[in-house]
Structure 1
Amino acid sequence: MRVRLLGTGSADGWPQAFCRCESCAAQRAGGVIRVPTSALVDDVLLIDGNADSPGAATRAGGDLAEVRHLLVSHAHVDHLAPQLLLFRSWVDDGPLDVIGPAAVLDACRPWVAPDAPVRWVEVHAGDAIDLGTHRVRVLPANHRVMAPGDAVLYDVTARDGGRLLWGCDTGPWDDAWVRAVAEADYDVVVLEETFGLATDVSDGHLHLESFAELVAALRGVGAVNDSTDVVAVHLSHHNPPETELRARLAVVGARPGRDGEAFSTADRA
C-alpha cells in the first residue's frame, strides 16, 4: 500500500492564516505549512478530498488522475469538497465510487450529471465494502456534523498487502470500539491530534493527552505494534511548535505527518 499525505492540518490549517500566536509564528519561520488533512492511497483511493487536495497533489509532484474511489468520513468542509466531482468530470468520465455517510452523498449529488457513471455508496459503522483492490471496514467516530452516526472512520486493507486505519476526525473511543480492532496489526495508523495542549475545547477531537491514551489502548489490543507507523494529522495551532510536538509524540511512538510525504507499507520493519 502506497500512501501520500496531501494535507496534515486542521480545518483552518497550521499556521492559521488569521493568527500570529507563538505556534503559528514558529511554523511560518520554519516553513512548515499544513493544509487540511487528506490522503491518496495507491493512486486510486482519495480519502477526505477537500478543496486543497488537488493543489496539494500537484505540489507533491503528482495528480489525482487515477482516482476511482472517493472515501469521505463526514460532511464537514475540510473533509468534503463536492465541487471536485465537477472539476474531475471536465477531463475524466470514467467510473467513480463516492462513499460516505448519507449527508456526504446528499452534498455531492448536485455536482454530478444524472447520467454520470458514479456509484453512490452510503455507509454506516459496521459496514464492509469492496472497492476494487481494497477492502474497507467502516468504524464509528466520536464526532458529528449534525447527528450521531453521521461521521465514520475507515479501516482499509489492500489486496496486495498493507492495512491502514484512517482515524480522522474523532474524539476518544469507547472501550468496545477499541476491542473491535483487536489484533488488527495495522501497518499505518493515521490519527487526528487536533487540540494539542488545549484539553477543554471539544470532546469531538483528540488532544495530546487523549491521543496518547488512544494509542496506548490500541497497543493494548494488538491493533498497534512496535513497527506500526503512527502518524498524527489534523494538526492545529493549539499544538506546540514542530520540534516540541515531535518530541511529545515520540514518547508514545508516534510522529507528526508532513504535507506531501509519501510512504509505503512495504517499508514496515
Structure 2
Amino acid sequence: MHKHLFDRLERFYDGVPRDVARAEEHGSLVLFVREGAGWPFYARPRLDAAGVPSLADVSSVRERQRELGVPEAFEWVHETSPDLLPVVRSAGLSVLEAPLMVLDPAAWADPATFTDVPLRALDPDAPGFAADVAAHRAVAAVGFSTPGTGRGDAGPAQRDAAVTELDAAVVDEERTRIADGRRLSVLAGTPAEGPLASGMAMRVGDVAEIAGVATLPVARRRGLGAAVTALLARELLAAGTDLVFLSAGSEEIARVYLRVGFRRVGTACVAEPAAALVG
C-alpha cells in the first residue's frame, strides 16, 4: 500500500513544476528551471532513474544552480530514495527531515473546530484578487521569518510593510492556476486586523499538496493554522482530490496537522546549504 502511495507522490513532485519550468537532467537528478518570474524550483531524483544520485550528480546540479542564481535546493522522500541522504550530507549540505503526512478523510476536522475567525478561498474573479495575492504572500513572508508555533511581536504592521506590488504576469499566473484547479489559496482574518494567516495547495490530477501555511506571530495560538489547513483540505476533497498530503516543518508543527486529520507516513527531506536552512 505504501509503495503505491509513494509512487503517486513521486509523480506529483515530478509533475508540479513541468507546466512552468524546463527539466534539466544531471545524472540521476533532475533540476526544474522556471521559465519567467516566480519562486525557483528544486532538484530531485529523476522519476525514471535506475540508480542512486551520486556526489558528482549533486555537484553538477549545485554548479548549475549557482550559475542560474537560484537556491541550491534538493527535495526527496526518504522512503523512496533512502540512499540519497548520506550522499547529500557528504556534499556538505544540511538536511531538514520533515514529517510527511497524508490526510485521512474520515478524520478530517471542520475549520470551525479551531477558530471563529473568518476564512475564505481566494476568488480569481474578484475585483480585489491582486491585493489578496499580495496580502497572502506578505503574511507568509512575515510568518516564515519567525518559524515555529510560538507567539511573537510581528503582526499587521509588519505584514503591511511586507506587501509589494506584484508583476501583472505573476498575478495572471496565479489567477489561471486557481481558475483551472491547479492552485488553491486561503486567507484567514478579521475586518479589524486584516489577513492573519494564509495557506495554499498545489494540485495535479487527484493528488494535492498543502504548503505555505503561515500565521502572523502575534496571532498564533488562536487555531488559525489548523483552520486554514482544514479549509484547504475540505475544498480539495470537494474538488475530487483523493490524496492530500503535506510536509510539516517540525514535530511541533506536525502536531497541529494531526488535529486536522493528517497522519504521518514518512519523511520528506529538504537539503540546502546550512545558512539557507537556518535563515
TM over 0.5, yes or no?
A: no
Structure with more relative contact order (C-alpha pairs < 8 Å, separation 6 or more): 2
Structure holding more helix per residue:
2
- TM-score, with length taken from structure 1: 0.31
- TM-score, with length taken from structure 2: 0.30
